[in-house]
Structure 1
Amino acid sequence: MRVPLWASAATLLIALQPATVAARDTSATRIPDEALAVAPQLREAALASRLGYEITESLTTEVGPRMAGSEADARAVKWAQAKFHELGFDKVWLEPVTFPKWIRRSESGHVLGENAQPLTLTALGGSPGGTVEGEVVRFADLAALEAAPAGSLAGKIAFVDYRMERARDGSGYGPGSRVRSRGPSEAIEAGASGFLMRSAGTDSHRNPHTGITRFDDGLTPIPSAALSVPDAEQLTRLLALRPQQVRMQIDAGWDGEATSHNVIGEITGSSKPGEVVLIGAHLDSWDLGTGAVDDAAGVGITMAAAKLIADLPQRPARTIRVVAFANEEQGLYGGKAYAAAHADALTAHQIAAESDFGAGRVYGYSSSAPAHAAEADRQIAQALAPLGIEHMPGKGGPGPDISPFAAQGLAWARLAQDGTDYFDLHHTPDDTLDKIDPDAVAQNVAAYAVFAYLAASAQGGFGSGPKAAGE
């Protein structure tokens, strides 16, 4: 889709603003008393509202799954534009994001021979198509596969049976997702013709978890898939009986390039409109469910938070910018494009926060605030405390789509959501609206609204600026 002229003009306007913005402000930062007095009103309005849930319902119902580059992805962009306008945002525009397009057509798996039976699996994003039949070799974890000698898996299918651990902060996902990202290349190095993994998930349902994988340069990609947790356990039991032959059939692969868009809406600040507090989420999803917890909830939370701020009698000094990022799932393409497009406006960005960990209640707050902004950071934490949110300085990091900009020096905040059950649903057919609690979404909206309003009202900055050498 070609960006309309009005969108290009809006983008140019933003790009021109940094010339009027001072370098990184290191004077002491605090939140004015009059802004702190508004926080309880904003909290209560958010807790009484179902707007965040209604936006989430709208996206998952009217668009459904929206894999990057698909027809539904394009409809999601139009939906987001229309929703920003419907909610009364002052400015709405598109910024193009181009990326390789991967498509999934069909997939199946079967155990052959004496114990013949179907296997429930799903192709990993980035997998090539093909039919592979061979003996399965099980590895308990990625390290065991990495230790396999070159050529030892010739004509065989590597199977990594790593069990991901459940954690409120999602810390078990790192090792699990590493199996998905590194496993196929390691299998190829050992000579395998196919790759299977136990899904990077914490559920016990027959729903495999997809997700993007990568192949090292110089390697010929092989069909790669994730088994549902019950199927991985079934295959392990079968392998304990005797060697097993498995057939994988995948019809998928890369299909040229696609262009989607970051969709951006703004609530203009009252006295410092050229300075921005950014909140956002990603608009795309995988294709198996309807992308409710990943990440329609984040879109609903951040759009609703900004709308509630806009409805206040007095707007904060700075502009609230909401970004619905394109194609997070396959490589942070929207986040990288945003960071590149707005690099010259780094110091115009006061601070940013992203909602991309489902719809569980926020339990912790932290930020990258430097020493000169410690008092403002504490004031924000105090305003969030009535929502059951603990101040957790020094914990966590930026959300995925804002991380490319944070690497350049963007200040970030983390509103940590309870992800105990998140990886039961993540990247599966079970990621649907019925799993979302409207009251939990309202608590998230309250947290984002209070944070964004107070940050946008702060006297002084939170440390955004180009990083010095060695930072």
Structure 2
Amino acid sequence: MLRSFAFVAVAALVMPSFAGSVETAVQLRDKALTDTTAWAIVETLTSEVGPRPIGSAAYNRSRDWAVAKLTAFGFTNVHVETFVKPAWSRGAESAEIVGAHSQKLAVLGLGYSVPTPKAGIEAPVVVFGSYREMLAQPPGSLKGKIVLVNQPMTRTQDVSGYAAAVVARNGDAEAAMRGAVAYLVRSIATGTGRAPHTGATWGPGPHIPCAALGVPDADLVASLARHETVRIRLKLQSSLDQKAVAFDVSGEIKGRERPDEVIVIGGHLDSWDPGTGALDDGAGIAITTAAAKLIGDLPAHPRRTIRVVWWGSEENGGSSEAYAKAHAGEKFVIAGEADLGGDHAYMVAVPQGLPGLDEVMAPLKTIVSRAMPRNGGADIHGLEEAGVPVLVVLNDASRYFDYHHSADDTLAVVDSDGLKQNVAVWAGLVYLIAESDIDFRKVPAAK
């Protein structure tokens, strides 16, 4: 099944003008399905560098690691682009129920949370079963309270379950406007493990200390709160470096005929600190880089340039805007980012409506988006806003959010066969785009 999907994905972009390139694409597919480069990238990234939050020593070490890897793989024009980005750093953290049923809770501060006083905050908890329920409370009604939103996340193959649940992670300002002194959220996760899942919290203030509880701990607090007043003592210490330096690292497979026409693919190098960032986004870096390396190892490069970018500030934002600004005016053909783990790829979306493309994509009608892809990825959002077409390869996310942003995001949960299948899809698609003269900007307007 892996081979058949990769073949169909490759065939999807075959145009009469370069039909002969299919044979090379099939060779790439077959080699990718046995190639271990992607696994080796994730393995060394997680073991030699580890977790990579901006501002940490490991983050800075990842820059040199990235340059060395891309150079060793044969990419040219390998370089680092820097930009200033405030870096939030986690300090000591704890949460516990105090009183008759005292016990410690599994907690992780959310990125960019303000700290508590050193002595912490102790207050009664108000539990809401959904974020919408909390928003329905009038101003001042939660004065002096710690809010817990215990909203479960639905497990889905795509990211719709996450998209629906993650809004609750940004609720500290809304809770503050209702008088709350701290904000807790059930981890945005599909698993039942106790490890809490972190993530950034965004939006305008006012801000109060905010953190995620492990899923069973959030349920524990909610259960007790149904029968009695629950008090929690919360301590969150963090710091913010306003002048931290972030970076993107990139390298190229230079096109043999149209080097100025650039296809951008990649993933993000930074990660949260609890785990080692294996799925998020070591897998994305590994998949796109291994695919480009296979193309670069061919006897002849494709006509267009393939640029692999390892964006350095996705989790806390900044890479998208910095990269788009630094590369304004370049002739980008299409851009694609892998940032959904490494499980089986089940859907490919490329701009539709081009002459001849519908016919050759007919075999994919049950699994490939027939509409113009949107939201190609956080790091290519700036390019997309500037009019660059996007390529989207969707992975099966059914188990991804069991581990996402948690201590369990390690090499142990990466599927090596899934990595290979993804590399096969990316290698075939990117090669045929790079070898073609398709102009994805000329998609007919919707009627």
Asked if these proteins are the same fold (TM beyond 0.5), I'd say: yes
- The structure-2 alpha-carbon separation of the partners of 1:293 and 1:395, relative to structure 1 and needing over 3 Å to count, comes to farther
SS at match of 1:276: strand
The corresponding residue for 2:321 is 336
CA distance in 2, matches of 1:29, 1:46: 23
Q: CA deviation at 1:54?
A: 0.6
Relative distance call for 1:91 and 1:137 in structure 2 (3 A) is same
User: Which residue of the other structure, out of 335, 339, 342, is the alignment partner of 1:356?
Assistant: 339
Where do 1:139-154 residues align within 5 Å? Answer: 139-154=128-143
Does 1:198 pair with 2:186?
A: yes
The aligned residue for residue 454 of structure 1 is 432
| 8 A contact 1:133–1:246 mirrored in 2 | yes
Q: Deviations over 1:400-425 (max 9, x none)?
A: 21122101111111111000001000
- Report the AA paired with residue 222 of structure 1: I
- Cα distance in 2 for partners of 1:51, 1:243 equals 55
Q: Which whole-Å deviations, capped at 9, do the CAs of 1:65-86 have from their partners, x for residues lacking one? A: 0001211111111111000001
Q: Is the partner of 1:443 in helix, strand or coil?
A: helix
The SS at the match of 1:453 is helix
Cα gap change, 1:374 to 1:75, in 2 (>3 Å): farther
Q: What root-mean-square deviation, in Å, do the aligned CA atoms of Structure 1 and Structure 2 show?
A: 2.2
TM-score of the two chains, using structure 1 as the length reference: 0.87
- Residue 201 of structure 2 corresponds to residue 223 of structure 1: no
Letter in 2 for 1:48: T
Does the 8 Å CA contact 1:68/1:260 hold for their aligned counterparts? yes
Asked if the contact 2:347–2:369 (Cα under 8 Å) also holds between the matched residues in 1, the reply is yes
1:97 offset after TM fit, Å? 2.3
Partners of 2:169 and 2:201 within 8 A in 1? yes
> Aligned letter for 1:74?
N
CA–CA distance in structure 1, aligned partners of residues 29 and 361 of structure 2: 12
Amino acid at match of 1:132: I
Aligned-partner Cα distance in 2 for 1:55–1:98? 27
- Aligned residue for 1:133? 122
Aligned residue for 1:357, secondary structure, equals coil
Give the SS at the match of 2:223.
helix
**Is 1:410 the counterpart of 2:388 in the alignment?**
yes
Residue type at the aligned position of 2:384: A
Q: Give the TM-score normalised by the residue count of structure 2.
A: 0.92
**Which digits, 9 at most, give the CA deviation of each residue in 1:123-157, with x for residues without a partner?**
00011111211000011111111111111111110
Of 394, 401, 404, the match for 1:423? 401
Provide the rounded CA distance (Å) in 1 between the counterparts of 2:49 and 2:27: 33
User: What CA distance in whole angstroms lies between the structure 1 residues aligned with 2:97 and 2:179?
Assistant: 21
What is the rounded CA distance, in whole Å, between the counterparts of 1:122 and 1:464 in structure 2?
Answer: 47
Percent identity over the alignment is 40
1:29·1:462 contact (CA, 8 Å) conserved in 2? no
CA distance in structure 1 between the aligned counterparts of 2:149 and 2:373, rounded to whole angstroms:
29
Where do 5+ consecutive residues of structure 2 fail to align? 1-13
Is it true that 1:441 corresponds to 2:419 in the alignment?
A: yes
Match of residue 165, structure 1, among 143, 154, 159: 154
Aligned pair 1:256/2:242, yes or no?
yes
- The answer on whether the counterparts of 1:294 and 1:356 sit within 8 Å (CA) in structure 2 is yes
Aligned length: 430
Structure 2 residue aligned with 1:213: 201
CA distance in 1, matches of 2:316, 2:324: 17
Q: Give 1:344 shift.
A: 1.2
Query: 1-side partners of 2:362 and 2:325: how far apart?
Result: 31
Say whether the 8 Å CA contact 1:381–1:390 is kept in structure 2: no
Change (3 A) 1:280 1:432: same
- 1:364 aligned partner, one-letter code: M
Match of 2:164 among 162, 175, 188: 175
Report how far residue 255 of structure 1 moved.
2.5
